[in-house]
């Protein structure tokens, strides 16, 4: 079977990460601009060489297409704004890869920034309640106390527990393994050791979720630059090639035959990306998965086919995902322990690992890296297969 024409035709050649976490007093657009400058420097590119820009804004508003003016880019061959929540980062890379492969642009910056944290307010205030007044039937959820995404994901996790016997300790195993990776990441917000006992002792937010089942909230920005594979080899940093990509979207209509809580669009998205890359899960040496909640990791592993449906709980036990485990996953500490920049968190770590630049946390085998993005309440999914190898 011939290789897909887009396999390894493009690569990520630049990465820019600003300071993240409780960084106050800066609007999201400033983080975005800094991230682009850092990515250009990282790639060894001049600003004038950038001819493509894709912008993704978080919940705090900005950046938007006016970022081009802020950056001093009066002329671009390709410019757009994209938002599918946490799946946006992987989708931006996909769109950029298509633009580069088609000749619409040569060097495309994909940038995300957000600044939901405010001094004197808790992290829960950023995502904790409805934004704006819900009208009609949409107001029922708020009337019953469903504020923000946590209750919906908690329901999904509880559904998985009820159907398959998944336990809280199995979710905790994901939190523990992710924290173990964070210890080797100087950028990680939470680096102190975590045990299963410590996980159990953390308070509940919305059962079955403890605090430690839920991601951080961060201010900051990130950017990657996508270019052609041949051009990437002549730039400053080792290229990380895009071998496969896919996306899928599904919406819960409330029908009994559609169990959107335990079968996500990752099934279709993952299969498409693996097929384009010409590999299977057996060839994947590392995962960088969207971990807004521990359950998101578990269900994504199932839907990608690393284990059968309902066996995710057993699969993540025993340190399989942690340092020294058979499937290194979220090696920078993920959104649970490092920082939360939507899909840029797993994507940036994939680039770092693909370059072999992980330092103390570098996984031993970086040949095939599977990256996921998840948006909405398990509604939007995007997948990438990245590799430092051309073939």
Asked whether residue 356 is assigned to any structural domain, the reply reads yes
Q: What is the pLDDT of residue 81?
A: 98
150-165 residue pLDDT tens: 999 999 999 999 999 9
Residue 234 CB partners (closer than 8 Å, separation 6+) = none
Q: Is 340 a catalytic residue?
A: yes
Q: What is the pLDDT of residue 154?
A: 97
Q: What is the pLDDT of residue 254?
A: 61
Asked whether residue 46 is assigned to any structural domain, the reply reads yes
Q: What is the pLDDT of residue 253?
A: 62
Global pTM? 0.96
Percent of residues, the chain, with pLDDT higher than 70: 96
Report residue 124's pLDDT band, with 50, 70 and 90 as the boundaries. confident
Please determine, for residue 272, whether its predicted confidence score (pLDDT) is greater than 80.
yes
Asked whether residue 253 is assigned to any structural domain, the reply reads yes
Closest CA to 113 of 72, 62, 182: 62
Please determine, for residue 115, whether its predicted confidence score (pLDDT) is greater than 60.
yes
210-220 residue pLDDT tens: 999 999 999 99
- The helix/strand/coil state of 373 is strand
Distances (CA, A) of 19 to 195, 218, 234, 289, 341: 28, 10, 28, 21, 11
Asked whether residue 164 is assigned to any structural domain, the reply reads no
Asked whether residue 137 is assigned to any structural domain, the reply reads no
Q: Is 290 a catalytic residue?
A: yes
Report residue 120's pLDDT band, with 50, 70 and 90 as the boundaries. confident
Q: Looking at 127, 290, 293, 304, which residue is catalytic? A: 290
Q: DSSP letter at 235?
A: S
Q: Locate tokens 């950028």: which residue?
A: 187
CATH number of the domain to which 79 belongs: 3.40.47.10
Q: Encoding tokens for residue 62? A: 């900005």
Report residue 132's pLDDT band, with 50, 70 and 90 as the boundaries. low
Asked whether residue 152 is assigned to any structural domain, the reply reads no
What average pLDDT is seen over the chain? 95
Containing structural domain, residue 313: 10-118+215-387
Asked whether residue 135 is assigned to any structural domain, the reply reads no
Overall average pLDDT of the 5-20 stretch: 98
Percent of residues, the chain, with pLDDT higher than 90: 89
Q: What is the tally of structural domains in the chain?
A: 1
Asked whether residue 204 is assigned to any structural domain, the reply reads no
281-306 residue pLDDT tens: 999 999 999 999 999 999 999 999 99
């Amino acid at each position: 079977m011939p290789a897909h024409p887009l396999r390894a035709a493009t690569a990520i050649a630049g990465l820019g990460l600003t300071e993240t976490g409780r960084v106050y007093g800066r609007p999201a657009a400033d983080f975005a601009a800094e991230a682009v400058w850092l990515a250009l420097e990282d790639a060894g590119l001049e600003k004038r060489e950038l001819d493509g820009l894709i912008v993704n804004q978080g919940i705090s508003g900005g950046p938007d297409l006016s970022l081009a003016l802020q950056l001093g880019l009066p002329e671009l061959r390709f410019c757009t704004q994209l938002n599918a929540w946490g799946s946006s980062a992987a989708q931006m890379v996909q769109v950029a890869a298509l633009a580069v492969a088609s000749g619409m642009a040569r060097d495309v910056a994909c940038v995300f920034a957000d600044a939901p944290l405010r001094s004197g307010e808790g992290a829960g205030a950023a995502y904790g309640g409805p934004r704006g007044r819900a009208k009609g039937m949409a107001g029922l959820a708020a009337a019953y106390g469903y504020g923000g995404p946590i209750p919906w994901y908690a329901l999904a996790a509880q559904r998985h527990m009820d159907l398959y016997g998944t336990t809280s300790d199995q979710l905790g195993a994901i939190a523990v393994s992710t924290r173990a990776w964070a210890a080797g990441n100087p950028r990680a917000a939470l680096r102190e050791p975590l045990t299963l006992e410590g996980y159990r002792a953390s308070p509940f937010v919305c059962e079955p979720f403890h605090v430690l089942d839920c991601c951080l909230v961060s201010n900051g920005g990130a950017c990657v630059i996508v270019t052609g594979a041949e051009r990437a080899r002549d730039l400053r940093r080792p290229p990380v090639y895009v071998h496969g990509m896919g996306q899928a979207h599904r919406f819960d209509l409330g029908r009994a035959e559609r169990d959107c809580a335990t079968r996500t669009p990752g099934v279709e998205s993952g299969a498409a990306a693996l097929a384009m890359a010409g590999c299977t899960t057996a060839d994947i040496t590392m995962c960088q998965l969207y971990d807004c909640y521990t359950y998101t990791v578990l269900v994504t592993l199932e839907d990608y086919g690393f284990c059968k449906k309902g066996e995710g709980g057993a699969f993540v036990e025993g340190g399989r995902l942690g340092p020294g485990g058979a499937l290194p996953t979220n090696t920078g500490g993920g959104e649970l322990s490092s920082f939360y920049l939507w899909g840029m968190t797993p994507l940036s770590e994939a680039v770092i690992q693909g370059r072999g630049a992980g330092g103390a946390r570098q996984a031993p085998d970086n040949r095939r890296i599977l990256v996921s993005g998840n948006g909405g309440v398990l509604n939007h999914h995007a997948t990438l297969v990245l590799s430092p190898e051309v073939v």
